[in-house]
């Protein structure tokens, strides 16, 4: 199984699709957002700086992200591939990531780009809800992704919450950063011939079916 990088604007479904891929193909889902939030939770020496940057919608320093990521990729469950969600975000990070892979004797794999219109992305951000217990994500703006009971997780009945950075002001900052930094990264991977594009604005099932076609095409 090849490792997979998922690239997308905010709210395009990287986390949702990563979880689906992880479950079907039995490879770990590595979200740099989760790595950073865990560092804050565990009172990492950089915890205060990380928290301030996340809440303002700014990017965390590369040195911090790379150190956390390298430790995670060196764990044995990554030996047969993994899904990388939220990293790299720019070409400099991509180059640094490839150096980590060389150090760890791992292949680059493929890149899947989940494209999404800005207005639709904003709707997804404003309505996003998550379960702090099991990690399930919902969206109150769409019938197909609403919880069965308002503000309650379908799986474990835990009260749902919104992330502090799920607001329009932070979204606009994140989206502008995405436009500035991520488009060159998309071009970078396209030139390498490993980039696959999917319209993620249709539905969750459509997006996953397209991902399955890509993965299936690599191994059939």
| DSSP one-letter code for 137 | E
More confident residue, 12 or 97: 97
More confident residue, 167 or 202: 202
Q: Backbone dihedral region of 195: left (phi > 0), alpha (psi from -120 to 50 degrees) or beta?
A: beta
CATH superfamily membership of 4-117+172-219: P-loop containing nucleotide triphosphate hydrolases (3.40.50.300)
| Residue 36 pLDDT class (50, 70, 90 cuts) | confident
Question: Which positions are catalytic?
Answer: 14, 89, 128, 163, 174
**Positive or negative CA dihedral for 127, 132, 137, 143?**
negative
The model's pTM: 0.74
57-61, 65-69, 112-116, 127-131: the lowest-pLDDT one: 57-61
Report how far residue 18's alpha carbon sits from residue 13's, in angstroms, rounded to the nearest whole number. Answer: 8
């Amino acid at each position: 199984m090849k490792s997979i990088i998922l690239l997308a604007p905010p709210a395009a479904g990287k986390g949702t699709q990563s979880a689906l891929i992880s479950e079907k193909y039995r490879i770990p889902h590595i979200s740099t957002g989760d790595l950073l939030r865990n560092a804050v939770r565990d009172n990492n020496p950089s915890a205060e700086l990380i928290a301030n940057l996340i809440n303002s919608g700014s990017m965390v320093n590369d040195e911090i992200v790379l150190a956390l990521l390298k430790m995670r990729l060196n764990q044995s469950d990554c030996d047969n591939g993994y899904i990388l969600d939220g990293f790299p975000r720019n070409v400099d990070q991509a180059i640094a990531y490839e150096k980590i892979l060389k150090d760890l004797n791992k292949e680059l794999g493929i890149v899947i780009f989940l494209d999404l219109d800005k207005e639709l992305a904003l709707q997804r951000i404003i309505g996003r809800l998550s379960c702090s217990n099991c990690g399930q994500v919902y969206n109150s703006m769409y019938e197909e992704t609403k919880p069965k009971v308002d503000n309650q997780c379908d799986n474990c009945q835990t009260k749902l919450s919104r992330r502090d950075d799920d607001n329009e002001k932070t979204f606009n900052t994140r989206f502008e950063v995405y436009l500035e930094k991520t488009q060159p990264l998309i071009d970078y991977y396209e030139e390498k011939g490993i980039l696959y594009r999917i319209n993620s604005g249709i539905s969750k099932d459509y997006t996953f079916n397209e991902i399955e076609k890509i993965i299936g095409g690599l191994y059939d």
